[in-house]
Structure 1
Amino acid sequence: MSFDYDLFVIGGGSGGVRAARIASSQHGARVGIAEESRMGGTCVIRGCVPKKLMIFASTAPAAAAEARGYGWAEATAGRFDWPAFRDKLHDELSRLEGLYEGGLTAAGVDIHHARATLVDHHTVELSTGERFTAKHILIAVGGRPSLPGIPGEELGMISDDLFTMETLPRRVLVVGGGFIACEFATILNGLGSDTTLCYRGDRLLRGFDEECRALVTHQLEDIGVTMRLNANPARLDRDGDAIRVTYEDGSAETHDAVMFATGRHPYTAGLGLENTGVKLGRKGEIVVDRWSQTAVPSIFAVGDVTDRVNLTPVAIREGHSFADTVFGAQPRCVDHDLVASAVYVRPHELGTIGLTEEAAAAQGPIEVYAASFRPMRSLFAGSEARAMMKLVVCADTRRVLGCHLFVPEAGEMIQLVAVAMGMGATKEQFDAAMAVHPTLAEELVTMRTPVRRAGGAVV
């Protein structure tokens, strides 16, 4: 049977674009790709990239305060011009979108600006009415924000909406306790909004190291975010130009805007999967094996739609591995067990890789090495903010099982730790590295005595 394409990719985010480009340019496949929105997907257009630029913008007041601590008596951040920033932000996103499209075109990939759905195991139909057949189909449609399912939720925003606001809200409520909620509460507070964060639990970032969870929760309070823990909105109502938020305990508050950061779900609805034998999991995710192959041999899926590790670099690696395996005769799959990540709060970020202290202790004897201190740079400027570094070490093999950093620029630092841990580094190999002084990172190689043992480790 002849096909229109060797590969048709549904979704123009990071994973889909990488797979299409590699399959075409490096392995000679005939490739088509369909994207219903803007090329670049969540990360480039409405996620990682614009969010990080907003983080940079939000640090100006703190930078001015630090400058005054170093003797710059008249340092001030001045007035934040949201419309000017927003317009420049969208210019940058358009530039990046153009790079993504240009890269695909240069690789010989056919681009279809339309929504694609599955007709059968080898056929896709576009919203334009066109149909194409493909020997292989890759689904890389990502995920979408979830709403809490309460009355009046349509009055609230999701994270996508923050990048297109006409004005910056004076009073804003962020609902949620994950990394998206923490980061946007940090951003909005830094840009000058009176920010409240409410979460149904007693501390933020469920699933992260418990000590780090407490540090992030306290830092948000310290920078001026009003915390409403163990609280859950029950309904939203319009109150003039504002929004009235009523909580489950009967209390109520009024805000100019409400942003929901209450999780994400795989974007599989309306994809036509019922026309195939592709299996879905409990959250609506596409079930795949370690080669990213579904229950249908001709259909694969990568990225957040599979709900494995929902991070952009993981989707990119999955897409590249798929292309090499299927079209390049270079079979390889992705190891999802050791993936570094960062939460971009301020002034200290959270960088993490490997097992939390709690998870490691549940598996066997461990030693915990940790240091808590006030960094020299911020201490001199008068800040009371404390940093923390932690290594979780297997007491038997001496391998470093987890590293958790709560320091400025932790995202940059954890990337380098990921190299060492990926090679199976032991605590003694960390210790053997000569410190670079004076730096924050030197603490990673100078912690000599465990602060505690757990999991049955002998004292």
Structure 2
Amino acid sequence: MTFDYDLFVIGGGSGGVRAARIASGEGGARVGLAEESRMGGTCVIRGCVPKKLMVFASAFPEIIEDARAYGWRVNADGFDWPRFRTALERELDRLEGAYRNTLINAGVTIHDTRATVVDPHTVRLATGETFTTKHILIATGGWPFVPDIPGRDLAITSNEIFHLDTLPKRALIVGGGYIASEFACILHGLGVAVTQYYRGAQILRGFDDEARGHVANAMQMRGIGIHCGTDVIRLEKTATGIRAVATDGTEREFDLVLYATGRNPNSRGLGLEDLGVKFGRHGQILVDDYSQTAVPSIFAVGDVTGRVNLTPVAIREGHAFADTVFRGVPTKFDHSLIPSAVFTQPELGSVGLSEEAARAQEEIEVYVATFRPMKTLFAGRQDRVLMKLIVSAATRRVLGCHIVAPDAGELIQLAAIAIGMGATKEDFDRTVAVHPTISEELVTMRKPTRKG
């Protein structure tokens, strides 16, 4: 049978774009890609990139304050949100264009519209056009979830936060994951009075307990009101804002309510349900180690599969798919050792096992250092850094590394290389320290803090 395309990708985010580019540019395939919104997906348009730029913007008040402590005569005259937002949108336009040009240069045909699946080898565009294709790749990502409570329409999500006309004076962040915690810090840094509600016992569930407790304490010391064990019952519009009625019995008024309580896979309404594609209980598309669904011609990568919802993971999954199907190099992406960073203030960088997970599987040694970093100590701040290594008592391999510090995301990337190569604690010990730096503590912790 002759097909219109060798591959048709539905979704122009990081995973779909990488798969399309490799399949076409390096695999020689005829590739079509449909994206109903903006090219670049969640990460570029409404996620990692604009969020990180807001992180940078929100850090300047402390930087300026520290500069005065170092002898500089500087003052901040206030944050110009409209000016920043305009520059941000201009940068996102540039990045979207770069993604588009990457696809065009690789020979990919772009369809700027929604696509659905008709059968295992046919897709239909919202324009009415249909195309046959040998393979279909679903890379439609995820979408923020807002629970069905009274007044839910009064809340916004991380999708809308970048496009506010004005910054609020009082904001409620609902959720305790990395998105909620990051935006709590961002808005606080931009001068907003921030309250965070989380129904769990501690924010940043899934990360090392000691590390996430360290982050929570630092956020509270900066003035963010974190209320764990608390959820919203309903939201009500008032003459002066939004009233949040909470499970702890309080009723408080805010100018903005941001929900960051998780994301659902964008898997429904694509026509997959009747074709034999299998779904998990949260709507994620179930795939094997090669990203293949229960229908042999249909594959899926990225957040829509619910494996590890991180942009670099989607990129690697998309690349592995293209290598396997179009370059004749069967490739499984290993999800077992993925570094991550939470861009709170301070940042949290993590790779490998938490202390809790490691202790559940074997005897371990835990090395911990906490200290006031030189830069902010000189400026009179009470900030504290946390450095933590989890070590196997039997093999001496470093099983996990957790850092709470300025630029922890930069530091954990380098630690991840060593841990991925199987470095032992003695390998860390043999490494000469770079002094004076925060990171030297990773190679100077000689005695375990605790064992077990």
* TM-score after normalising by structure 2: 0.99
Measure, in 2, the Cα distance between the counterparts of 1:188 and 1:256.
Answer: 12
Measure, in 2, the Cα distance between the counterparts of 1:407 and 1:121.
Answer: 49
Q: Deviations over 1:119-171 (max 9, x none)?
A: 11111111111111110000000011001221111100000101110000111
Map of 1:54-69 to 2, 5 A cutoff? 54-69=54-69
Measure, in 2, the Cα distance between the counterparts of 1:241 and 1:18.
Answer: 47
Measure, in 2, the Cα distance between the counterparts of 1:249 and 1:255.
Answer: 17
Measure, in 2, the Cα distance between the counterparts of 1:237 and 1:388.
Answer: 41
Q: Which amino acid aligns with 1:10?
A: I
Aligned to 1:207: 206
Q: Which amino acid aligns with 2:337?
A: L
The answer to whether the 8 Å contact 1:14/1:316 transfers is yes
The answer to whether the 8 Å contact 1:340/1:353 transfers is yes
Q: Deviations over 1:154-204 (max 9, x none)?
A: 100000101110000111100000000000000000001111111112311
Aligned to 1:35: 35
Q: Compare 40-49 and 273-282 and name the one that shifted more.
A: 273-282
Q: Which amino acid aligns with 1:36?
A: E
Q: How well do the aligned residues superpose, as a CA RMSD in angstroms? A: 0.8
Secondary structure of 2:366 counterpart: strand
Measure, in 1, the Cα distance between the counterparts of 2:163 and 2:379.
Answer: 35
The answer to whether the 8 Å contact 1:122/1:298 transfers is yes
Q: Name which of 423, 426, 431 aligns with 1:425.
A: 423
Q: Deviations over 1:42-96 (max 9, x none)?
A: 0000000000000000011000111111122x32222100001001000000000
The answer to whether the 8 Å contact 1:371/1:389 transfers is yes
Aligned to 1:3: 3
Aligned to 1:363: 361
Secondary structure of 1:59 counterpart: helix
Q: Name which of 385, 406, 409 aligns with 1:408.
A: 406
The answer to whether the 8 Å contact 1:118/1:275 transfers is no
Give yes or no for the alignment of 1:227 onto 2:226: yes
Measure, in 1, the Cα distance between the counterparts of 2:93 and 2:130.
Answer: 29
Q: Deviations over 1:359-383 (max 9, x none)?
A: 0000010000110000011101101
Aligned to 1:395: 393
Q: Which amino acid aligns with 2:47?
A: G
Measure, in 2, the Cα distance between the counterparts of 1:377 and 1:252.
Answer: 40
The answer to whether the 8 Å contact 1:61/1:76 transfers is no
Q: May I ask how many residue pairs the two structures share in their alignment?
A: 452
Measure, in 2, the Cα distance between the counterparts of 1:195 and 1:131.
Answer: 49
Post-superposition offset of 1:15: 0.3
Aligned to 1:457: none
Q: Compare 273-282 and 175-184 and name the one that shifted more.
A: 273-282
Post-superposition offset of 1:34: 0.3
Measure, in 1, the Cα distance between the counterparts of 2:271 and 2:239.
Answer: 42
Q: Which amino acid aligns with 2:376?
A: S
Give yes or no for the alignment of 1:264 onto 2:263: yes
Give yes or no for the alignment of 1:330 onto 2:329: yes
Secondary structure of 1:207 counterpart: coil
The answer to whether the 8 Å contact 1:19/1:323 transfers is yes
Post-superposition offset of 1:283: 0.8
The answer to whether the 8 Å contact 1:174/1:181 transfers is yes
Q: Deviations over 1:201-233 (max 9, x none)?
A: 231111110001111111111111112221110
The answer to whether the 8 Å contact 1:221/1:227 transfers is yes
Q: Which amino acid aligns with 1:419?
A: I
Post-superposition offset of 1:241: 4.3
Q: Deviations over 1:305-359 (max 9, x none)?
A: 011111000000000010011000111110000000000011x210000000000
Q: Deviations over 1:405-435 (max 9, x none)?
A: 0011000000001111111111101111111
Post-superposition offset of 1:18: 0.3
Map of 1:28-427 to 2, 5 A cutoff? 28-72=28-72, 74-346=73-345, 348-427=346-425
The answer to whether the 8 Å contact 1:434/1:445 transfers is yes
* TM-score after normalising by structure 1: 0.98
Post-superposition offset of 1:275: 2.9
Measure, in 2, the Cα distance between the counterparts of 1:19 and 1:207.
Answer: 29
Where in structure 2 are there 5+ consecutive unaligned residues? none
* Identical pairs, percent: 62
Aligned to 2:432: 434
Post-superposition offset of 1:447: 0.6
Secondary structure of 1:159 counterpart: coil
Q: Compare 181-190 and 224-233 and name the one that shifted more.
A: 224-233
Q: Which amino acid aligns with 2:231?
A: N
Q: Which amino acid aligns with 2:253?
A: T
